[in-house]
Amino acid sequence: MVSTNNLKNGMTLRIDGDLWRVDYFQHVKPGKGGAFVRTTLKGVQTGKTVDRTFRAGEDLEQAFLEKRALQYLFREGDAFVFMDAEHFEQTPVDEAALGDAPKWIKEGDTIELVLYEEQVVGVNLPAAVELEITETEPGLQGDRVSGATKPATLETGAVVAVPLFVNVGDRVKVDTRSGDYLSRV
């Protein structure tokens, strides 16, 4: 348990059965009445943001998250199988727990999974990944309009907008947070 007087940004709390990360907090002592703590919480699993107010000194349950780097091996049905490189223990993870991460990972990649009580609640991906283009229309000679893009399918199946000069077989750098093309590698 942690008191609302001791909240810190980035702290994870368990409220009403859900996990919430404290993005912002402010301790307020009005002229009349008791003090309170105004917070902005972000859902760890859902990503939803809510504003919530607590009485000063109120106890909340603190959740301790474990971060573990695991290597992605293969897909088996609706599950993705990861391996702990230290103990060689394989762990199947349901696709729903990974969110958008499957669009950006390929076999052999090492990613950081966020666990709470041995359940995967999130994924920490690198800010950018390098992937190969498997399908796109060829760029036409002379069609060099400034800022023009075309859709391209990556080796993981994700579709991103790339400049006209990018062709099949090229490796590109993609931002995993927004899905935007960054550069050709």
User: Domain 66-124 belongs to what architecture?
Assistant: Beta Barrel (2.40)
Pick from 103, 146, 121: nearest CA to 19: 121
**What is the token pair recorded at 23?**
């993005």
Q: Where in the chain is the domain with CATH 2.40.50.140?
A: 66-124, 128-184
Question: For 9-22, how does the pLDDT look when each residue is reduced to its tens digit (9 = 90+)?
Answer: 888 888 888 888 88
Question: For 67-113, how does the pLDDT look when each residue is reduced to its tens digit (9 = 90+)?
Answer: 888 888 888 888 888 888 888 888 888 887 787 888 888 888 888 88
Confirm if 13 and 63 have CB atoms less than 8 A apart: yes
**Has this prediction a pTM greater than 0.75?**
no
CATH topology for 2-62?
Answer: SH3 type barrels. (2.30.30)
Question: For 40-67, how does the pLDDT look when each residue is reduced to its tens digit (9 = 90+)?
Answer: 998 877 778 999 888 888 888 888 888 8
May I ask the CATH class of domain 128-184? Answer: mainly beta
Measured CA to CA in angstroms, residue 185 lies from 14, 129, 132 at distances of: 42, 11, 9
3-state secondary structure of 6: helix
